[in-house]
Chain A
Amino acid sequence: MSDGGGGLAGRTIKFFLDEAEVEALPGETIWQVAQRNGVEIPHLCYSPEPGYRPDGNCRACMVEIEGERVLAASCVRKPAAGMKVRSASERAKFSRKMVFDLLVSDQPSRNAHPDPDSKFWRWADKVGVAAGRFPATHHPKPDRSHPAMAVRLDACIECNLCVRACREVQVNDVIGMAARNHDAKIIFDFDDPMGASTCVACGECVQACPTGALIESALVDERGVQAQKPNREVDSVCPYCGVGCQITYKIKDDKLLYVDGRTGPSNLNRLCVKGRFGFDYVSHPQRLTKPMIRKPGMKKDAHAPLDPSNPWSHFREATWDEALDVAAAGLKKIRDAHGPKGLAGFGSAKGSNEEAYLFQKLVRAGFGTNNVDHCTRLCHASSVAGLLEGIGSGAVTAPFMAAKDADVIVIIGANPAENHPVAATFFKNAVKRGATLIVMDPRGQALKRHATHMLQFKPSRDVAMLSAMLNVIISEGLADKQYVQAHTEDFDKVAESVKDRTPEKMAPVCGIDAETLRTVARKFARAEAAIIFWGMGISQHVHGTDNTRCLIALSLITGQVGRPGTGLHPLRGQNNVQGASDVGLIPMFFPDYMSVEDPARRAFYEKLWGAKLDPKRGLTVVEIVNAIHADEIHGMYIMGENPAMSDPDVQHAREALAKLDHLVVQDLFLTETAYYADVFLPGSAWPEKTGTVSNTNRQVQMGRQALPLPGDARHDLWIIQELARRLGLGWNYAGPADVFAEMKQGMPSLDNITWERVDRESSVTYPCSAPDKPGDDIVFSDGFPTKSGRGRLVPVEIRPPAEEPDEQYPMVLTTGRQLEHWHTGAMTRRASVLDAIEPEAHTSLSPGDMARMGISSGAMVRVSTRRGTIELRARPDNAVPPGMIFIPFCYAEAAANVLTNPQLDPMGKIPEFKFCAARLDPIAATAAAE
Chain B
Amino acid sequence: MSAHDNSAPVAQPARFAFTPANLEKAKAHIAKYPPGRQASAVLPLLDLAQRQHDNWLPRAAMDVVADMLGMARIRVYEVATFYTMFNLKPVGKHFFQICTTTPCWLRGSDAVVAACKKKLGIGIGQTTADGMFTLKEVECLGACVNAPIIQVNDDFYEDLDGRSTEALIDALKRGEKPPVGSVKQRQTSAPDGGPTTLKDLSFAGGKR
A interface residues with partner B (beta carbon < 8 Å): 167, 173-180, 183, 185, 187, 189-191, 449
Contact = CB atoms under 8 A, between A and B. Distances in A.
Given A183-B3, A189-B73, A178 B78 contact: yes
A326 B146 CA distance: 99
Given A179-B1, A179-B3, A191-B1, A173 B77 contact: no
Nearest to B83: A180
Contact of B81 (A167, A179, A449): A179
Contacts of A189: 73-74, 77
A178 B1 contact: yes
Nearest to B62: A190
16 contacts: A173-B74, A174-B74, A176-B74, A178-B3, A178-B77, A178-B82, A179-B81, A180-B81, A183-B2, A183-B3, A187-B81, A189-B73, A189-B74, A189-B77, A190-B62, A190-B77
Chain B CB count within 10 A is highest, among A167, A178, A180, A449, for A178
A32 to B, nearest CB: 29
B81 A178 contact: yes
Contacts of B2: 179, 183, 185
Nearest to B84: A180
Contacts of A449: 72
B73 to A, nearest CB: 7
A300 B115 CA distance: 85
A176 B59 contact: no
Mostly helix, strand, loop or mixed at chain A's interface?
mixed
Given A179-B81, A179-B82, A190-B59, A173 B1 contact: no
B75 interface: yes
Give the 9 A-B CB pairs with smallest separation, nearest first: A173-B72, A179-B3, A176-B74, A178-B81, A183-B3, A176-B78, A179-B81, A183-B2, A173-B74
A189 B80 CA distance: 12
B198 to A, nearest CB: 43
A167 B73 CA distance: 11
A291 B81 CA distance: 60
Given A178-B3, A185-B2, A173 B75 contact: yes
Chain B CB count within 10 A is highest, among A177, A179, A180, A449, for A179
Contacts of A183: 2-3
Contacts of B72: 167, 173, 449
Contacts, number: 43
Contacts of A174: 74
A177 B59 contact: no
Contacts of A179: 1-3, 81-82
Contacts of A187: 74, 77, 81
Given A178-B82, A179-B3, A191-B1, 4 more contacts: A167-B74, A180-B3, A180-B81, A190-B62
A191 B78 CA distance: 10
Interface string B52-94: 0000000100100000000011110110011000000000000
Contacts of B74: 167, 173-176, 187, 189
B69 to A, nearest CB: 12
A180 B59 contact: no
A185 B6 CA distance: 14
Interface in B157-187: none
A175 B1 CA distance: 15
Interface in B84-131: none
Given A167-B72, A189-B73, A190-B59, A177 B3 contact: no
A449 B63 CA distance: 13
A315 B30 CA distance: 69
B1 A176 contact: no
A239 to B, nearest CB: 31
A176 B77 contact: yes
Nearest to B3: A179
A173 B66 CA distance: 12
A569 B77 CA distance: 37
Contacts of A185: 2
A183 B3 CA distance: 6
Contacts of A177: 78
Given A190-B59, A191-B1, A180 B75 contact: no
Nearest to B78: A176
A368 to B, nearest CB: 59
Contacts of B81: 178-180, 187
A177 to B, nearest CB: 6
A199 to B, nearest CB: 11
A179 B5 CA distance: 12
A449 B82 CA distance: 25
Contacts of B73: 173, 189-190
Given A174-B74, A187-B77, A180 B82 contact: yes
A190 B2 CA distance: 12
A119 to B, nearest CB: 25
Contacts of A180: 3, 81-82
A176 B79 CA distance: 10
Contacts of B59: 190
Interface in B1-42: 1-3
A413 B200 CA distance: 83
A841 B73 CA distance: 29
A174 B62 CA distance: 15
A510 to B, nearest CB: 26
Nearest to B77: A190
B50 to A, nearest CB: 16
B42 to A, nearest CB: 14
A816 to B, nearest CB: 25
Contacts of A191: 1, 77
A173 B59 CA distance: 16
A176 B75 contact: yes
A918 B182 CA distance: 73
A139 to B, nearest CB: 12
Nearest to A174: B74
Contacts of B3: 178-180, 183
Contacts of B75: 173, 176
A173 B72 CA distance: 6
Nearest to B59: A190
Nearest to A140: B2
Contacts of B62: 190
A601 B74 CA distance: 59
B3 to A, nearest CB: 4
Chain B CB count within 10 A is highest, among A175, A180, A185, A190, for A190
Nearest to A197: B74
Contacts of B77: 176, 178, 187, 189-191
B41 to A, nearest CB: 18
A191 B74 CA distance: 10
B17 to A, nearest CB: 17
A844 B146 CA distance: 61
Nearest to A191: B1
A757 to B, nearest CB: 42
B38 to A, nearest CB: 14
Nearest to B81: A178
A191 B62 CA distance: 14
A174 B73 CA distance: 8
A71 B11 CA distance: 48
Contacts of A167: 72, 74
A189 B75 CA distance: 9
A101 B1 CA distance: 28
A267 to B, nearest CB: 23
A191 B59 CA distance: 11
Contacts of B82: 178-180
Nearest to B63: A190
A449 B74 CA distance: 14
B76 to A, nearest CB: 9
Contacts of B78: 176-178
Chain B CB count within 10 A is highest, among A176, A180, A449, for A176
Contacts of A178: 1, 3, 77-78, 81-82
A176 B1 CA distance: 13
Contacts of B1: 178-179, 191
B1 to A, nearest CB: 6
